[in-house]
Structure 1
């Protein structure tokens, strides 16, 4: 048997991939798309920072067993880096998206989130010496055009520019965080890294959340949305995502980025009755199309 043949997965596993991969991609798109709807429900009652603290803490608890199992691979000297990445890649974007959810329909944040892939490429080119290439340069320009169109929108008579700015900056922070993870944490167990960074982000956010805790106890609906956001959309979703990366690779797993805006808009429309405007559709197509263009392999 040749080495190539020896590394091929069994026929049963190949067959199972036919349904597992698209199923898990759609599942993740639905879960992460729902996170924007859940923020829209919970953020007005909790406030952005307390809601994010609940999300970080509950997500970290779900992933904690992975960190405990791999604790020997996390020496003390690594924790400052983990804390920095946790603040940039989790606490900051989560707060910004929660803030945006207080100002605008959930679909706005979901569409802005798609810019993460483009910002990751831009940060890699500016600070980490990677070539951006003409295709990604065009994609960046197209994506920013979509953001500009989205920022100019008025939905139900209200301007959404500030929410778009917050969502776009959150995606920019995700782009920085992705590059920091690639530079400093490559080879580390990803689920354990997620647990560590979420835990650090939760500790960093805790004093601000306590200072801004709502004086009126949020409704059961808001509490339910907050817990679903942490347990399902953060903790369990990370487990599924890292399983997917392990099975099909990061470049294929990133396809979920295309599905999040679709599900985010559909959840908000079907369950919250939020409108889907022509401006949102045009901007979303430009942004998601630009992401698709940036991910195409050269021929």
Structure 2
């Protein structure tokens, strides 16, 4: 029986997971000046999938995928990469700040609970979970009001009504969360038996989903949005970090935690990543944050805690 991991090992993997996924929102914002949203998402995911495949190949842990493995990666990539990452970048391109995107995607467990109940035959939400659903909805309204007030106070807008969350961009970000939810529920409803390791399946998913993003970006005409002259050190580092940190490091740490610690610890990113995204958007990207937005952040995180608590305790 393997020895239990030390506190330092668990903490270091959690820290890398929180930072890797929490920093993606700011990194996307910095890179959108150079690449269109779907080309950006596709290129970084293909780079991450390619590097992860090379690492597995060099370590002797690569197996030849079957036709079923490839088909599974292709259809799952539509939901979890094309929608989950491409739609998120599209929403940020349309004006959703890194802070707001972090909080909206942080409500993914809310969508997961409702979709599981309405479409996947899971049990009706408990009273505590209904409280979380209501709290998260109120939190999103507070977020919209708080962002408008923050931009008004900072002088980014001159009158109320100009600086709230852009409706179109917000819809794209919400669709991104629903894509992740749909992919999760469908993969559970139609499980795929495979001889591949979790990391190799992840590499195939990133490659397939990344290729889908690139294809959609080219069909959308995003080639005209490519501005290599705007490429700088900051955007280059952000792109590499999204590929390596948000791709390889984050997924490796997540799978490592799933194998060695409780589910409650492994999925604690659901509470922490939105907070990290808001803090980094404020500190690194200079996005205004006021007391109402901080309250919305706390309310959404607390609501997710209420929704997920029963599952974690049972696990």
TM-score normalised by the shorter chain: which range applies? 0.7 to 0.9
Distance 2:100 2:193 in 1: 35
Counterpart of 1:4 in structure 2 is none
Structure 1 position 52, deviation (Å): 0.8
Structure 1 position 289, deviation (Å): 0.7
Counterpart of 2:154 in structure 1 is none
Structure 1 position 90, deviation (Å): 1.1
C-alpha contact (below 8 Å) 2:84/2:179 kept by paired residues: yes
Counterpart of 2:114 in structure 1 is 122
Which residue among 197, 200, 215 is the counterpart of 2:208?
A: 200
Higher mean displacement: 149-158 or 277-286: 149-158
Higher mean displacement: 84-93 or 200-209: 200-209
Structure 1 position 128, deviation (Å): 1.7
Distance 1:85 1:40 in 2: 26
Gaps of 5+ in 2: 152-156, 158-162
C-alpha contact (below 8 Å) 1:104/1:160 kept by paired residues: yes
Distance 1:231 1:239 in 2: 11
Structure 1 position 71, deviation (Å): 3.2
Structure number having the greater helix percentage: 1
Which residue among 86, 90, 108 is the counterpart of 1:95?
A: 86
Higher mean displacement: 29-38 or 223-232: 223-232
Residues 249 and 75 from structure 1, CA distance in 2 versus in 1: closer, same or farther, beyond 3 angstroms? farther
Counterpart of 2:39 in structure 1 is 50
Structure 1 position 105, deviation (Å): 2.4
Structure 1 position 183, deviation (Å): 3.1
Deviations 1:64-117 (A, max 9, x none): 147763535x42134333211111011112122212323132111111121112
Structure 1 position 281, deviation (Å): 1.4
Counterpart of 1:160 in structure 2 is 165
Deviations 1:98-145 (A, max 9, x none): 123231321111111211122222222222211143232322222122
Count of aligned residue pairs for this structure pair: 287
RMSD: 2.3
Counterpart of 1:182 in structure 2 is 188
Distance 1:193 1:118 in 2: 27
Q: Does 1:20 align with 2:9?
A: yes
C-alpha contact (below 8 Å) 2:27/2:238 kept by paired residues: yes
Residues 279 and 223 from structure 1, CA distance in 2 versus in 1: closer, same or farther, beyond 3 angstroms? same
Q: Does 1:147 align with 2:152?
A: no
